[in-house]
Chains A and B, each alone.
Chain A
Amino acid sequence: MFLRELDTVEMLQNALRNYGVPLAIRDLLLAVAVIVLGATGTFLLLPHRHGSVKPRRVHAAGGALVGLSILLLACFWTPPGSFQANLFFYAFGMAAVAGGILTITSRNPIYSALWFASVVLSTSGLFLLAGAQFLAAGTVIVYAGAIIVTFLFVIMLAQSQGQALYDRMARAPGRATLSCFLLLWGLMYALLVAQTIPLGQGQDSLAREKRLVRASQIVGFYRIQPSTNPAMVLNRANRPTSQLPQSQQSHVAGLGGTLYTDHLIAAELAGVLLFVALVGAVAIALPRVPGRPAGPPTAP
């Protein structure tokens, strides 16, 4: 784009490929821009003193950098197709990432909890777009409805008077931002490389699916030795109860069918886990009954 000479671009591209980086220069620069802008903006937004600059200016600068980084991240998303799906995907995706950044950088824990509620609603919308309708409703009910309300109750019971010092100080923000954005860079790089069309192939997007074959399209699974792990996993993944509903079947009926036939043990264990957690929470949180000293019994 801004490199005018074509052979310089070609040379750089070939040099990158020789070093094992099969990305286009544009994608690489955009990804680096996302990470660098996001890291700088988040570092500025985290509660920390930045010399003698007023906090408002620091917040404004950090917010602008983070907003720009989210817009550049949205350039990596391919639109899913129909206009409504595009609109909602971009809206929910950007709201999820923006809500995430606001959660971790809010000075008031109530604001953090409310921004986390917006993250949960955005991921619930993304679940709906991916076809997980029960999970979308379940996430809103359990997470936003129960867990976050419990958080707000605990914040009410464990209030700090005024602006606490520990809310305005972040632990090692530079090192933490560096390491976490390096992690994000690693994940983004891996995903972008996987998305790159392999060299020598045609330009249609089905070529990329050769990198990740869908489990529903593996037809030769019966040729694998039965009773080996791949055969057992594929057998389980391709049962009729395990398949997502094709067209007119009910969503929740299919989910219930697979939950109680293929994943029966997992469902029962989840119930046991809830019970154990209930016992544990009651044991931890309730105070000792007064009048029953915890010392050894004394002789009368």
Chain B
Amino acid sequence: MPGPDPFTFDVLVNYLLVGAALMALGMLGFLTRRNLIVMFLSAEMMLQGTALTLVAFGRYHGNWTGQVFTIVILTVAACEAAIALGLILVLFNRRESLDVTLWQDIREPGLPPVEEPSEEAEPIEPKPGPESYPHLTPAGLEPPHPSQPWEQRRD
């Protein structure tokens, strides 16, 4: 019989704590953000948390089941990413915006619409000066500069 497994219960709890933190943070991002892409990224983070928990338990119990199911989770995440991103592109082409509150009409019939005043948005701190361009190595003829440079930064 080989020596005692170095993957003790305490080490298992380490991994489970990290998995729990990823899961809770993913849920927070999904509930909070309004950008469709960031919502979906948070959902993927939840899947990462569960995958970590599964692998840790599989290692603790000494069988492959955790890793096999994590492979299935990886497959599901890939499929979900493909379909969800296609759907996000279709929705963006309809309304020219990635805001999820534009699609509130598909909510449950009894609920009031969520209306948030735009004063609650974080103010942008404008960077001073006109937009600047990076200094890159010239790779050909210099194109004609615009007669009026951008007055407002785009980032």
Binding site for B on A (CB under 8 A): 42, 46-49, 54-56, 73, 76-78, 80-81, 89, 93, 96-97, 100-101, 103-104, 106-109, 112-113, 116, 119-120, 123, 126-127, 130-132, 134-135, 138-139, 142-143, 146-147, 150-151, 154-155, 157-158, 160-173, 176-177, 179-181, 183-184, 187-188, 191-192, 194-195, 205-206, 208-209, 211-212, 214-216, 237-238, 241-244, 246-247, 254-255, 258-259, 262-263, 266, 270, 273-274, 276-278, 280-281, 284-285
Contact = CB atoms under 8 A, between A and B. Distances in A.
Contacts of B23: 183, 187
Contact of A157 (B5, B59, B89): B89
Nearest to B52: A123
Which 5 A-B pairs have CB atoms at the shortest separation, nearest pair first?
A: A104-B29, A277-B79, A285-B86, A216-B62, A184-B24
Nearest to A158: B92
21 contacts: A49-B123, A81-B6, A100-B25, A103-B29, A104-B45, A113-B41, A135-B67, A139-B51, A142-B78, A151-B41, A154-B88, A166-B101, A184-B20, A191-B20, A215-B61, A216-B61, A216-B63, A258-B68, A270-B75, A274-B78, A280-B82
Q: Is the interface of A mostly helix, strand, loop or mixed?
A: helix
B37 A154 contact: yes
Nearest to A170: B32
A58 B87 CA distance: 35
B139 to A, nearest CB: 22
Nearest to B124: A163
B2 interface: yes
Given A135-B70, A171-B32, A100 B21 contact: yes
A164 B101 CA distance: 13
Nearest to A107: B122
Contacts, number: 316
A55 B121 CA distance: 11
A41 B13 CA distance: 24
Interface string B50-61: 011001101111
Contacts of A103: 25, 29, 38, 41-42, 45
Contact of B26 (A100, A138, A160, A277): A100
Contacts of A237: 61, 63, 65
Interface string B16-53: 11101111111111011111011011101100100110
Given A116-B41, A254-B64, 11 more contacts: A48-B121, A55-B123, A104-B45, A113-B41, A126-B55, A155-B37, A158-B98, A160-B97, A171-B34, A211-B9, A212-B12
A101 B25 contact: yes
A164 B35 CA distance: 9
Interface in B76-112: 76-83, 85-90, 92, 97-101
Nearest to A244: B62
Contact of B37 (A93, A134, A158): A158
Nearest to A275: B79
Contacts of A134: 67
A73 B59 contact: no
